[in-house]
């Protein structure tokens, strides 16, 4: 074992042992979004939920109690969410075990090839080491729930799933980890027409702790097989009472027709809404950036009562998706929400691999990027962008969304204090423009990271 690998293993075991904290009964002296800056607030907590929100009273707050957290004039907001993040292939460009794999061309084909080489080396120790690091860093940024993708195929078999389920259990008192078993490779193409992947996915869907099944229909050889992919994975989700997550229409060419119309028709014909309360999430969908007004209207009609939400993945999309004319695109999430009334959010997707070599585990870095991508600089825009990595993201993946009201989950992020001077974050707008690095994460009324 090399010194670098030994250091990486040691670092992965150094997760804080003092989190989560004991349950809190109250958080005092905090600032709340859309409240006057001159007023501070106390939030009482019972059984992991907000039981009251009242103006701060210095004489009755009980600040000396170990069950009371002094917010010290800091801004308190709903916690963050990864609606879409790959757990098994994170940090491949940094992990000592894979440091010989570096980007040369920076395109999708190379990313697939490089990831395939890395996957052939995957073992439990590095899957746990890298996955643990991703979850730990995410919690420090304010994440309390995530949908974590783990790949299933003939090469890795169920290794990634096994590691994901171990990490889900390890972090169960600090973060809600949704496990999505995911077929990145074709289900109906290839040497054996995808039979092995289908068998593995069927087995994986039965495992306790698996919440979601997903696939990538665009990797199939032709449209007919892509439709077979959608039909098969949707049936698997429905029969096993799982959420469905599809990587869909990951291209930009205007002359290539999107699969979204067939996908919605296939799922509607299954009477999805009548048979289950599980959600349908569609990621990437970059081809939709070419839609005109009529197509957006049609999309809203075709979705109808289906519980569909879209997830834009701007860091990966902008790096991977470009035409020969250098046209780039990612879902216009702010417009989809405000103008077209669609359910949508944004997410990190990949961290530190050939699909997305830049960025980190902070959902707010994506929201901040969205200000420029979507030309969304107003106060209202910033508030929507925060929702896309918080309440809207949680709703998209079927989790309880968080609002600062009585009865809501006590899941929060506390940002930097007034001691920072005039640069402290005092509003959602300031957080989206520049979230800073000083945060405290609270989940179900317990501190989970500082």
pLDDT of residue 17: 53
Strands 210-215 and 243-248: parallel
Answer positive or negative: Cα dihedral of 367, 369, 372, 377. positive
Which tokens hold the place of 99?
A: 């440091």
- How much is the pLDDT for 232? 98
Strand 412-414 relative to strand 440-443, pairing: antiparallel
Collapse the DSSP code of 100 into the 3-class scheme (helix H, G, I; strand E, B; otherwise coil) and give the result: coil
Which residue is associated with the tokens 């905090």? Answer: 30
Dist CA 168 CA 178 (whole Å): 8
Which run of H or E residues covers position 214?
strand 210-215
3-class SS letters over 328-392: ECCCCHHHHHHCCCCCEEECCECCCECCECCCCCCHHHHHHHHHHHCCCCCHHHHHHHHHHCCHH
**pLDDT at 418 (0 to 100):** 62
- Structural tokens at position 139: 């919690």
Query: Can the peptide bond before residue 20 be classed as cis, meaning omega within 30 degrees of 0?
Result: yes
Contact 84, 331 (CB under 8 A): no
Q: What is the CA radius of gyration of the chain?
A: 22
Strand partners, 45: 50
| Burial grade of 116 (CB within 10 A; 0-12, 13-18, 19 or more) | middle
pLDDT per residue over 371-423, tens digit each?
999 999 999 999 999 999 999 999 999 999 888 999 999 999 999 866 667 78
Give the separation between CA 382 and CA 430, rounded to whole angstroms: 9
Taking only the tens of pLDDT, the chain with its 450 residues reads 343 344 344 433 444 456 778 899 999 999 999 888 889 999 999 999 999 999 998 875 566 677 899 998 999 999 999 999 999 999 999 999 998 999 999 888 899 899 999 999 999 999 999 999 999 999 999 999 999 999 999 999 999 999 999 999 999 999 999 999 999 999 999 788 899 999 999 999 999 999 999 999 999 999 999 999 999 999 999 999 999 999 999 999 888 999 999 999 999 999 999 999 999 999 999 999 999 999 999 999 999 999 999 999 999 999 987 777 777 899 999 999 999 999 999 999 999 999 999 999 999 999 999 999 999 999 999 999 999 999 999 999 999 988 899 999 999 999 986 666 778 899 999 999 999 888 999 999 999 987
Q: Are 49 and 407 in contact (CB under 8 A)?
A: yes
Phi/psi zone of residue 389: left (φ > 0), alpha (ψ -120 to 50 degrees), beta?
A: alpha
Q: Which CATH class is domain 26-79+402-449?
A: mainly beta
- Residue-wise pLDDT for 284-343, tens only, equals 999 999 999 999 999 999 999 999 999 999 999 999 877 777 778 999 999 999 999 999
pTM of the shown model: 0.93
Q: Where in the chain is the domain with CATH 2.30.40.10?
A: 26-79+402-449
Which backbone phi and psi does 157 adopt, to 5 degrees?
55, -120
In the chain, where does the domain assigned CATH 3.20.20.140 lie?
Answer: 80-396
Q: Is 42 left (phi over 0), alpha (psi -120 to 50) or beta?
A: beta
Indicate the CATH number for domain 80-396: 3.20.20.140
């Amino acid at each position: 074992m090399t010194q670098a690998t030994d250091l990486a293993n040691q670092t992965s075991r150094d997760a804080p042992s003092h989190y989560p904290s004991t349950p809190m009964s109250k958080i005092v002296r905090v600032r709340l979004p859309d409240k006057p800056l001159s007023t501070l607030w106390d939030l009482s907590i019972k059984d992991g939920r907000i039981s009251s929100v009242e103006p701060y009273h210095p004489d009755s707050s009980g600040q000396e109690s170990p069950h009371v957290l002094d917010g010290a004039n800091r801004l308190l907001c709903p916690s963050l969410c990864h609606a879409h993040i790959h757990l098994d292939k994170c940090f491949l460009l940094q992990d000592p075990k894979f440091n010989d794999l570096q980007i040369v061309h920076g395109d999708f084909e190379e990313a697939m090839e490089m990831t395939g080489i890395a996957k052939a080396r995957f073992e439990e120790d590095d899957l746990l080491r890298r996955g643990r690091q991703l979850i730990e860093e995410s919690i420090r940024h304010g994440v309390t729930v995530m949908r974590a993708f783990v790949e299933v195929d003939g090469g890795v078999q169920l290794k990634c799933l096994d590691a994901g389920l171990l990490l889900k259990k390890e972090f169960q008192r600090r973060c809600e980890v949704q496990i999505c078993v995911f077929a990145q490779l074709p289900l109906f193409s290839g040497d054996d027409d995808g039979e092995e992947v289908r068998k593995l996915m069927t087995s994986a869907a039965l495992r306790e702790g698996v919440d979601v099944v997903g696939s990538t229909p665009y990797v199939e050889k032709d449209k007919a097989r892509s439709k077979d992919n959608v039909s098969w994975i949707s049936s698997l989700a429905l029969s096993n009472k799982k959420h469905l997550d599809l990587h869909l229409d990951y291209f930009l060419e205007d002359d290539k027709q999107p699969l979204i119309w067939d996908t919605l028709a296939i799922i509607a014909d299954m009477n999805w809404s009548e048979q289950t309360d599980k959600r349908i999430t569609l990621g990437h969908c970059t081809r939709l950036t070419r839609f005109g007004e009529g197509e957006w209207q049609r999309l809203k009609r075709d979705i109808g009562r289906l519980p569909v939400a879209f997830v834009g993945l701007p860091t990966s999309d902008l790096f991977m998706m470009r035409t020969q004319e250098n046209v780039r695109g990612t879902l216009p999430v702010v417009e989809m929400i405000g103008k077209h009334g669609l359910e949508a959010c944004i997410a990190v997707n990949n961290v530190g691999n050939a699909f997305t070599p830049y960025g980190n585990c902070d959902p707010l870095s994506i929201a901040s990027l969205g200000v420029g991508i979507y030309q969304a600089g107003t106060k209202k825009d910033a508030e929507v962008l925060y929702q896309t990595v918080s309440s809207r993201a949680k709703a998209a993946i079927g989790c309880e969304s968080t609002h600062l009201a009585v009865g809501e989950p006590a899941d929060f992020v506390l940002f930097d204090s007034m001691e920072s001077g005039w640069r402290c974050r005092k509003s959602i707008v300031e957080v989206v423009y520049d979230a800073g690095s000083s945060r405290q994460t609270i989940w179900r009324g317990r501190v989970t990271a500082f």
